[in-house]
Chain A
Amino acid sequence: MKGISLIAATLVVLFIGIFSILIVSFFFKYHLWYTIEYTYQSATEDLVLLSLLNTECSGKKVYEIISMSSINDFSISDSDLSCIEDKLDKLSASNCYRLFIEKSDSAEKDIIHKGSCPLKREVCYRIALPYGNDLVSNICLVLGD
């Protein structure tokens, strides 16, 4: 009897110990995995925006199209807009994003807006505008999960 209860007690302690460690490890690992994944995604946004600004629509870089559009209050022709949207669709591979300009009066002017995502990550770069009162403006990309 004594032998049996010793073995049983040992098994219980082993079970509790290992199970606790596994549960704790699981939560820690999940947290770490999530953070790594999130950081990876943030770096991706930079690359998506930079790649977008570097691509060409109607013979001009998207950077130039957007910065030159400041002459007409950031109005972009329909053909250029659909080209930018097409490029962004391919680069982001996301169902929801928002590309916008922060104007000098702090107002935000949407260039393209697609879908609505609860969790969003944003990246902004300074873009040079043609000479004027405000020389640079922020071009921002918000990507959803």
Chain B
Amino acid sequence: MKSKMKGLIGIIILGVATILLGGAIYLSTSVGVQKSFSIALKEVYILKAINQLESIKQFLEYPINYSFSQAIYTVAKQSGYCNYNPSVPQESGIYYWRVKSSTYFPDYIGSLEKCLKKYLNKYADSLNVPEYKEVKIDENEGKISVITDSMMSKSVDTQTIDATIKANPNRTTYFDKKVLSSFKTAKRLYIDSDIIKTAVLNVIKNSCKTASKKYSCSECPKTPSQVHDDVCGASWKSETESKIKKAINSLNGIYGDVRIEHDIKYIDVSYSGTCDHTYKYKKECYQKCENIDGEEICNTVCYDVCDYCIASCKYTNQAEVKVLVKVYYPASDDKSLFYPVYDDGKRKLSKIVLRFYVRETIIS
């Protein structure tokens, strides 16, 4: 009985020892695997967070470029302004660049920076990127720098790890400098020089500046407009306006990288003048006979009578024009060069169209 008990105890001890040994072996390998697994998980979570931040950072050039396209499209459409500017004359959101001798050239780079910042920060909000505090455009290098004062971050918050990954969202990208040639060419043609004035002046400076006509004496004196109508023709006004339109439209065409079109919104031609009348006389004679002491004596009596008059007039011509100038970039119709923009409620590929008014009063 005693030996039976001994045997049973031996078996139990041996069994327990075996289970403990087996458990110890299992636990040691299992904990090892779980440790590796935990480290791997941490790495994957961190890697995924880095991937997400890096993907935003890496592809930030696209929202910057899209914002720039939209900014330049808006600024060009609004004559070089991003926001309403009450100090500059405008009609329906299109501003005047010239009213007679007064010029209003916009700070288009400042406007671009303002609009670019506005659009880019809408993207930043959607992409969980911190607000951009400063946007700089270097027109000489074609460089855009966007600067914020905080980092974008991504939290990794799981049971095994609590970490925050950070990345700097400041970026510098480059744009095609030629897109700014719209503003530069327009400044050269309409602010620095004045090609519309020159074109109009060439028409009116030699158009019926003087008029001279012979009239019968009874018709004189003539008013300057009567002489003008008689000499230059009653259709002078409409003809001159047509010539001016033709002259302005002849300015349409390609100037370097841009194409320019002129849309004449208003035109009026008038003149004022003064006339000198020169009367030409002729002698008329008749026989005047008198009976003196029974003798009839006849004498020839002559006197001056008006033969005709010459009206000589000098005129000053005046032309008033209002022209909507449209500057297109690119000049070609190659759609691959167009810009992605948003207008009238839809996305489209479009040229950049700079629009502004020029109002001239030309006197010659």
Do the two chains bind? yes
A17 touches B347 (CB 8 A): no
User: Which of B3, B23, B41, B44: most chain A CB closer than 10 A?
Assistant: B44
| 8 A-B pairs with C-beta separation under 8 A | A21-B25, A47-B51, A53-B55, A126-B56, A128-B66, A128-B123, A129-B347, A135-B123
- Whether, in the assembled complex, B58 has its beta carbon less than 8 Å from a beta carbon of chain A, the answer is yes
Q: Which stretch in B28-36, B182-190, B299-307 binds the other chain?
A: B28-36
Within 8 A of A (CB), among B4-21: 4, 7, 10-11, 14-15, 18-19
Q: How far is the CA of A113 from the CA of B318 in the complex (A)?
A: 71
Q: Which of B10, B18, B59 contacts A53 (CB 8 A)?
A: B59
Chain A residues near B345: list those with CB within 8 A. 133
Q: How far is the CA of A104 from the CA of B7 in the complex (A)?
A: 79
- Whether, in the assembled complex, A71 has its beta carbon less than 8 Å from a beta carbon of chain B, the answer is yes
Chain B residues near A43: list those with CB within 8 A. 44, 47-48
The number of residues on chain B lying at the interface, defined by a beta carbon within 8 Å of a beta carbon of chain A, is 49
Main secondary structure of the interface of B (DSSP, over half): helix
A130 touches B34 (CB 8 A): no
Chain B residues near A112: list those with CB within 8 A. none
B29 touches A127 (CB 8 A): no
- Whether, in the assembled complex, B281 has its beta carbon less than 8 Å from a beta carbon of chain A, the answer is no
B347 touches A132 (CB 8 A): yes
Q: Given A10-B11, A18-B18, A130-B66, does the pair A54, B58 have CB atoms closer than 8 Å?
A: yes
B275 → A minimal CB distance (Å): 64
Residue interface mask B50-73, A partner, CB < 8 A = 1: 011011101100110011011000
A14 touches B18 (CB 8 A): yes
Within 8 A of B (CB), among A1-56: 2, 5-6, 9-10, 13-14, 17-18, 20-21, 24-25, 28-29, 32, 35-36, 39-40, 42-43, 46-47, 50, 53-54
Q: Given A67-B62, A71-B340, A71-B348, does the pair A17, B18 have CB atoms closer than 8 Å?
A: yes
In chain A, what residue has the closest Cβ to B128?
A126
A7 → B minimal CB distance (Å): 10
A38 → B minimal CB distance (Å): 10
B59 touches A32 (CB 8 A): no
Chain A residues near B33: list those with CB within 8 A. 29, 32
In chain A, what residue has the closest Cβ to B47?
A43
In chain B, what residue has the closest Cβ to A137?
B126
Q: How far is the CA of A127 from the CA of B59 in the complex (A)?
A: 8
Main secondary structure of the interface of A (DSSP, over half): helix
Q: How far is the CA of A75 from the CA of B100 in the complex (A)?
A: 50
- Whether, in the assembled complex, B174 has its beta carbon less than 8 Å from a beta carbon of chain A, the answer is no
B52 touches A125 (CB 8 A): yes
A39 touches B66 (CB 8 A): no
A121 → B minimal CB distance (Å): 13
- Whether, in the assembled complex, B122 has its beta carbon less than 8 Å from a beta carbon of chain A, the answer is yes
A36 touches B37 (CB 8 A): yes
Q: Which of B11, B55, B63, B346 contacts A125 (CB 8 A)?
A: B55
Q: Given A13-B11, A21-B25, A136-B123, does the pair A131, B44 have CB atoms closer than 8 Å?
A: no
A130 touches B341 (CB 8 A): yes
Residues of A participating in the B interface, judged by any CB pair closer than 8 Å: 2, 5-6, 9-10, 13-14, 17-18, 20-21, 24-25, 28-29, 32, 35-36, 39-40, 42-43, 46-47, 50, 53-54, 63-64, 67-68, 70-71, 125-133, 135-136
A58 → B minimal CB distance (Å): 11
Q: How far is the CA of A40 from the CA of B37 in the complex (A)?
A: 11
Q: Which 9 A-B pairs have the closest CB atoms?
A: A130-B340, A131-B70, A13-B15, A21-B22, A128-B63, A17-B18, A132-B342, A136-B126, A135-B126
Q: How far is the CA of A64 from the CA of B54 in the complex (A)?
A: 17
B44 touches A17 (CB 8 A): no
B123 touches A46 (CB 8 A): no
Within 8 A of A (CB), among B121-148: 122-123, 126-127
Chain B residues near A18: list those with CB within 8 A. 18, 22
Chain B residues near A67: list those with CB within 8 A. 62
Chain B residues near A68: list those with CB within 8 A. 340
B114 → A minimal CB distance (Å): 15
Q: How far is the CA of A47 from the CA of B52 in the complex (A)?
A: 10
B207 → A minimal CB distance (Å): 50
- Whether, in the assembled complex, B40 has its beta carbon less than 8 Å from a beta carbon of chain A, the answer is yes
